[in-house]
Each structure stands twice: as C-alpha cells, then as structure tokens.
Amino acid sequence: MAAPSFKYRTIETSGESMYRVMASKHLGFACHVRSEAEIKGLLEEWWKEHHNANHICYAWRLGWDKQRYRINDDGEPSGTAGKPIYGQILAADLTNVLVAVVRYFGGTKLGTGGLIDAYKTASAQAIQSAVICEREALQQIDLEFPYERMPAVMKMLKQWDMEKLDAHMDAICTLKIALTGSHTADFETWAADQEDIKYQKGTFY
C-alpha cells in the first residue's frame, strides 16, 4: 500500500484583482488561512474597508486533506457567487485558502450568467496573481520526559528538522513540537524505544 501524501497546495503570498463589467466593480482577494477564526477576521476587515460595497461573497477550504469548505453568496441569487468562486479553488487544487469577491453594483443587472462569469473571473484573477506553494501537513506532538533525556530529544528534533512550538524545562520537561506528516511513522518507531519519554499526538494542520 502506498504511503499517504501529506503535501498540499496553498497560497504563500496573497493575490488581488479588479474586474469591471457593465459599470459594476468586482475586487478579488485570495489569501492563505488556517482557521475559521482567521477567515472571520479577514471578512470583518474587508467589510470595514468596503462598507459601501453591495456584497462580499466568498468560498474557503481548510485542512491538508481538503475536507472542510464553505461557500457564501451574501444575498446574490443562489449559486451565482460562492459556487463559481469555490470552483476556482478546486481548479487550482488549493486548500487552507479563502477567496472573496467584493462587489460594487454599477446600476445595470448582469443576470445569472453575468454574475457567475463576474465572480468566476474576479476570483480566478486573484488566485492567478497570488504566489502558490506546496507545503507538507504538520502534526502537533506533546512530549514529557526527565531532564536528563534532553540530549536524546534534541538529537531527534534536529534529525527530522522539527519545529519547537513551546517548552518548559524542569526536572520533568514538557515540549510541544510540530512534526511533518512524512516523519510520523519514524517518530512513533523512535518513541516506542524510549520508556521514559511520553507523548501525545494532536491533529494535523
């Protein structure tokens, strides 16, 4: 059986666009996000900045496994905004991403087809202007061990280039690390041979 792939495509540097049609202006934004709280914060910022806009429609997808997503038409006819925006996320095969389109209505109705095309184009252009990168999913690991075992733990961290998130050093040390998905099996093999080192695995992100 093939080993699972923990790699995914996401946005490294945000992208923006501006698409005009029939006097209506559509501002596109494509951003890297990791949580719904972060998404909420960005949307609130855009509403403050564009308080005169008619709509802010968006779509997002979260998780290295691409299982969580949402679309929002923000009052536009159902399926004319969030769905075409999400379609561009799928086309670019992105996750941990938020794409939004701010619309200023120009006075002429675009119709269902016109709206779909406007939101699709603005979101596609925003994604195209962003810098796309490939990343590997990380898993949080909580370690607990006696202080004298510190050299062995530090050697393990260096070997697999792990990120240290938090640490408390005392007679009994606690350490929070981020481990790449491809090294999860290696870590478990190593930990199984360390009787005095306890660990707890968190979720991937």
Are 180 and 7 in contact by the 8 Å Cβ rule? The answer is no
The two three-digit tokens of residue 40, written as one number: 């909420």
Most confidently modeled range among 93-107, 157-171, 175-189: 93-107
pLDDT digits (tens, 9 = 90+) for 114-153: 999 999 999 999 999 999 999 988 888 999 999 999 999 9
The predicted model gives 165-191 an average pLDDT of 88
197: domain range? 137-204
Q: What is the mean pLDDT of residues 9-14?
A: 97
**Chain-centre distance for alpha carbon 94:** 8
pLDDT at 45 over 70: yes
Query: Does residue 102 register a pLDDT over 70?
Result: yes
Higher-scoring residue by pLDDT: 196, 160 = 196
Whether residue 104 lies inside any domain: the answer is yes
Looking at the fold, whether 95 and 108 belong to one and the same domain comes out as yes
Instruction: Identify whether 1 is part of a domain.
Output: no
Instruction: Identify the H or E element spanning 200.
Output: strand 198-204
Threshold 0.85, pTM exceeds: no
Cα dihedral: 87, 131, 8, 204 (round 10)? -110
Residues 141, 119 share a domain: no
Q: What is the C-alpha end-to-end distance of the chain, expressed in Å?
A: 24
Beta-bridge partners for 174: 144, 168
Q: In this structure, is residue 2 part of a structural domain?
A: no
Both tokens assigned to 16: 């923006």
DSSP letter at 147? G
